[in-house]
Amino acid sequence: MAVDTPLRRLFDYLPPALPAGAAQPRPGMRVRVPFGRRRLVGVVMAVADASDLPPERLKPILEVLDATPALEASALALIQWSAEYYHHPVGQVLASALPRLMRLGAGVVATGECWTMSGAGRDAAAAGEPRRALKQRALLDFLISRGGAATAEHLREHSASWRDAARALEKRGWLTRTQEALAQIPEPVRVRTAGPSLLPEQRDAVERVASAAPDYAAFLLEGVTGSGKTEVYLRLTGEALARGRTVLVLVPEIGLTPQLVGRFRERFEAPLAVLHSALTDHERLAGWRATWSGRARIVLGTRSAVFAPLPDLGLIVVDEEHDASFKQHEGALRYSARDLAVVRARLAGVPVLLGSATPSLETLHNVAAGRYTRLRLLRRPGESRPPLLKLVDLRVSAVEGGISTQATLAIERHLAADGQVLVFLNRRGYAPTLLCTACGWIAPCGECDARLTVHLAASSLRCHHCGADAPLPARCPQCGFAVKPVGQGTERIEAALGTRFPGVNIARLDRDVVRRRGDVDEVVRRMSSGEARILIGTQMVTKGHDFPNVTLVVVLNADQGLFSTDFRAPERLAQTIVQVAGRAGRGAKPGEVLIQTEFPQHPLLVSLLEHGYDGFAEAALAERLEASWPPFSRLAALRASGKTREAALGFLREARAAAGTPPRGLKLLGPVPAAMAKRAGRYHAQLLIESRERPPLHRFLDAWLPGLEAHKSSQRVRWALDVDPLELF
Ligand code: ADP
Ligand code: ZN
Ligand code: ZN
């Protein structure tokens, strides 16, 4: 039995006292059990004949909550696999996989109001009745088109005023109203529109993946933004649906990819579940139930959807597989949904397709090793030339407010030619620093090793790391002199562009503008309609949106990331530049990309400009091999945080000592304080474990972690293990 506790083990229970003939608990079923003084919901992992505990110490299960397992075999297998691979208590992995209400015991079967035609109703309809009441007639026709039954939800879609007609038909005895398990209601699964005829590379990709089904195989679908990857997902989805299978599509952030969800809805008339972190508990439960019952044929979701209980799984797609948001790097279970998607595909025996314009180096390495098949889309449909990239040397250019003269002139030129312009800056707010020019005081965050960002419109100083928010002071708190914002954020660039291009409609997209659902849609609408001519934004603009009339992209500052201590920083920078550059010239007009930098000779930028992302990736992989960083070695990070620096470091030193001499091929590095040691009032530090091979690393962790758990440290800390950490700090 897996129970949600930090203990790394399963618990044995006796079967419940059940009436004769009642079903016994099976793996995947939820049960209520006594646990200490509490009663908890647990999941049956296996049924055993014997226990290590003496029988008199075993307690019986109190109640079996499911008639059918809430988790089918492959979902259960994935959970077990995750617990072993990430060295995490299986009960807590389950807690990450199940919606909160399911963990509290909510039933798996969704019921809802349902209207069904009676025999008399069918006869009447066949005879052309009712002749006068057209709304009732239309309702009957609608029901017939759905096989004679529909939920209230369907009927509402059919007509807003359906209820009166339904009541009238009920009185005539032609309809009956019931409360049904929703999975019993027939749902059409149809392709609404066929889609464009495929380009040869697309057709080849579809055929290769489709012919792998119904077996496991992993594919990388590589193609720049606009090259037709989504079209390939749609075709393969149609193909899997036609085989009676369900499809799981993982995306980085739902809020940022409204167009993708829209395209699946446009293409398929089939129940679709959307699972993401902004759902309420009830919405999440509803989505999970629709998935579990097989009612939802397509499940679109962010990282935790990798655990969604799809029956008859036929295909997994991971869009933008390089995206860092697939990695859960906080909280209890730290996992990579991209990696788990591949594992799940293997456990379920289905193909998995990883799509990206800028594949992660891990994935490219898997291609090189022959584990993944690379499929490439080289052309953009209806257009041939990729955008032209140029560096602007900030050291020799006239720069005003962060924008070089060259960039200003280019913006002017593209606006005059009726193009739209995208300006990218990965820093939100007005300015990253508030400075006193008299005494040199810089507004610091009291809780973090960080500066506060000026937000002028909100008249506040905010910390982007802990969320601290203070009013913007007019004078220096230290000497009383006037203070001034230094440096640029998107808010300031928006203001500067507004002054420079009066009368031009400017839109902004960053986390400050996007507060509610629908805010992104509004910005997208303004750009798509041509109302806005310039869009200034952060990382958010690199994701998912299609603005065919953007002809110029300006990257204001490419230099953050060039000299980071994190070995993955160059990869992230190259991906960002290529992704944002890919927003230019997606329509018929050719695109131009200007990248402002103080380091135009930096080898990374040079290789990117001369040889594209491929050339960059090759060079970057060679560097990783040289330094034996992943994917040429395996990493795990033991992270600790405490009230003092000494607490965090002290715990990790004790942990390191407890490890003794590590086996050959395995190195312990650290502990060291995190690059930003103090965050939200806590001090962070980490100890890295590096291994050439995977198995010795896991053997080492298996032996080491139980000791750490039992260890009564002299330090009060929170600690967590991160296997395959994505960010090193
Ligand atoms: P990606 O997912 O790689 O960004 P999309 O699949 O969204 O690319 O394709 C970009 C645009 O091109 C979309 O508007 C899409 O409808 C269109 N498109 C895709 N494939 C074709 C094709 N074979 N013929 C014509 N248009 C296509
Ligand atoms: Zn001062
Ligand atoms: Zn802070």
Q: What's the pLDDT tens digit per position in 423-457?
A: 999 999 999 999 999 999 999 999 999 999 999 99
Q: How far is CA 586 from the centre of its chain?
A: 25
Q: Dig out the tokens for 66 from the structure.
A: 């499911």
Q: Residue 343 to residues 141, 205, 331, 459, 608: CA-CA distances in angstroms?
A: 46, 21, 22, 48, 32
pTM of the model: 0.87
What pLDDT, in 10s, does the model give residues 644-693?
999 999 999 999 999 888 888 899 998 999 988 999 999 999 999 999 99
103 Cα–ligand 1 center, Å: 41
Q: Residue 396 to residues 112, 409, 597, 601: CA-CA distances in angstroms?
A: 68, 16, 10, 13
pLDDT band at 555 (very low <50, low <70, confident <90, very high): very high
Q: Which of 513, 524, 725, 727 is nearest to 634 (CA)?
A: 725
Q: Does residue 565 register a pLDDT over 70?
A: yes
**Residue of the CA atom closest to atom 18 of ligand 1:** 228
461 Cα–ligand 2 center, Å: 16
- For the chain, give percent helix, strand, coil, nearest 5: 35, 25, 40
399 Cα–ligand 2 center, Å: 27
**Residue located via tokens 């999975």:** 183
442 Cα–ligand 3 center, Å: 14
Q: Rounded to a whole number, what is the distance in angstroms from the first to the last CA of the chain?
A: 37
**Residue of the CA atom closest to atom 11 of ligand 1:** 226
Q: Dig out the tokens for 523 from the structure.
A: 């910005």
What residue type is assigned to position 473 of the chain? P
575 Cα–ligand 1 center, Å: 21
Q: Identify the residue with better confidence: 258 or 340.
A: 340
Q: Quick one: which ligand is closest to 443's CA?
A: 2
Contacts of range 405-414, beta carbons closer than 8 Å, 24 or more positions apart: 406/594, 407/554, 407/556, 407/594, 407/596, 408/500, 410/552, 410/554, 410/592, 410/594, 411/497, 411/501, 411/534, 411/552, 411/554, 412/501, 414/551, 414/552, 414/592
Please list the alpha-helical segments (H only) found in 62-161: 73-85, 90-97, 100-103, 119-126, 134-145, 152-158
Q: How large a percentage of the chain has pLDDT more than 70?
A: 95
Q: Dig out the tokens for 303 from the structure.
A: 């990282």
The C-alpha atoms of residue 356 and residue 579 are separated, in whole angstroms, by: 10
Q: What is the pLDDT of residue 161?
A: 83
**Residue of the CA atom closest to atom 19 of ligand 1:** 228
Tell me if 259 sits within 8 A of 289, measured CB to CB: no
Closest-lying ligand 1 atom to the alpha carbon of residue 231: 6
**What's the rounded mean pLDDT across residues 568-588?**
83
pLDDT band at 694 (very low <50, low <70, confident <90, very high): very high
- For residue 711, the tally of other CB atoms under 10 A from its CB is 12
**Among 39-43, 84-88, 435-439, the least confident range:** 39-43
Q: Residue 54 to residues 16, 44, 59, 307, 713: CA-CA distances in angstroms?
A: 17, 20, 11, 35, 32
* Residue 51 host element (H or E): none
**Residue of the CA atom closest to atom 10 of ligand 1:** 226
Burial of 471: CB neighbours in 10 Å, binned 0-12, 13-18, 19+:
exposed
The C-alpha atoms of residue 501 and residue 411 are separated, in whole angstroms, by: 9
The C-alpha atoms of residue 647 and residue 355 are separated, in whole angstroms, by: 43
235 Cα–ligand 1 center, Å: 12
Which phi and psi angles does 117 have, rounded to 5°?
Answer: -75, 140
pLDDT band at 422 (very low <50, low <70, confident <90, very high): very high
pLDDT band at 629 (very low <50, low <70, confident <90, very high): very high
382 Cα–ligand 1 center, Å: 9
- For residue 210, the tally of other CB atoms under 10 A from its CB is 15
Residues in Cβ contact with 723 at an 8 Å cutoff, skipping those fewer than 6 apart = 85, 86, 87, 334, 636, 701
Please spell the DSSP secondary structure of 286-334, one letter per residue: HHHHHHHTT--SEEEESGGGGG---TTEEEEEEETTT-GGGB--SSS--
Q: Does residue 255 register a pLDDT over 70?
A: no
Q: Does residue 159 register a pLDDT over 60?
A: yes
**Residue of the CA atom closest to atom 14 of ligand 1:** 226
443 Cα–ligand 3 center, Å: 11
Q: What is the pLDDT of residue 480?
A: 93
Closest-lying ligand 1 atom to the alpha carbon of residue 233: 6
Tell me if 242 sits within 8 A of 272, measured CB to CB: no
**For 717, how many CA atoms within 13 A lie in the half-sphere containing its CB?**
30
160 Cα–ligand 2 center, Å: 64
Which phi and psi angles does 511 have, rounded to 5°?
Answer: -65, -20
Which of 221, 227, 231, when mutated, tests ligand 1's pocket best, judged by the most ligand atoms within 8 Å of its CB?
231
Q: What is the pLDDT of residue 650?
A: 92
Q: Does residue 384 register a pLDDT over 60?
A: no
Which of 230, 235, 318, when mutated, tests ligand 1's pocket best, judged by the most ligand atoms within 8 Å of its CB?
230
Q: Does residue 574 register a pLDDT over 80?
A: yes
Closest-lying ligand 1 atom to the alpha carbon of residue 357: 3
What pLDDT, in 10s, does the model give residues 125-151?
888 888 888 888 888 888 888 778 887
**Residue of the CA atom closest to atom 9 of ligand 1:** 228
Q: Which residues line ion ligand 2, judged by CB < 5 Å?
A: 436, 438-439, 441, 476, 478-479, 481
Q: Quick one: which ligand is closest to 461's CA?
A: 3
Q: What is the pLDDT of residue 442?
A: 96
**Residue of the CA atom closest to atom 16 of ligand 1:** 231
Q: What is the pLDDT of residue 563?
A: 78
Q: What is the mean pLDDT of the chain?
A: 89
What pLDDT, in 10s, does the model give residues 581-608?
887 776 667 789 999 999 999 888 888 8
What number of residues does the chain have? 729
What pLDDT, in 10s, does the model give residues 264-316?
999 999 889 999 888 888 889 989 988 988 889 999 999 999 999 898 999 99
| Cis amide prior to 631 (ω within 30 degrees) | yes
**Among 149-153, 204-208, 337-341, the least confident range:** 149-153
CB-based pocket (< 6 A), ligand 1: 196, 198-199, 202, 223, 225-231, 381
Q: Quick one: which ligand is closest to 477's CA?
A: 2
Tell me if 78 sits within 8 A of 340, measured CB to CB: yes
Strand blocks (E) in 680-711: 682-691
**Among 21-30, 322-331, 421-430, the least confident range:** 21-30
- For residue 425, the tally of other CB atoms under 10 A from its CB is 25
Q: How far is CA 387 from the centre of its chain?
A: 28
What pLDDT, in 10s, does the model give residues 450-498?
999 999 999 999 999 999 999 999 999 999 999 999 999 999 999 999 9
Q: Identify the residue with better confidence: 429 or 16.
A: 429
Closest-lying ligand 1 atom to the alpha carbon of residue 319: 2
**Among 103-107, 201-205, 621-625, the least confident range:** 103-107
Q: What is the pLDDT of residue 226?
A: 79
**What's the rounded mean pLDDT across residues 194-202?**
93
Q: Is 427 helix (H, G, I), strand (E, B) or coil?
A: coil
What residue type is assigned to position 375 of the chain? L
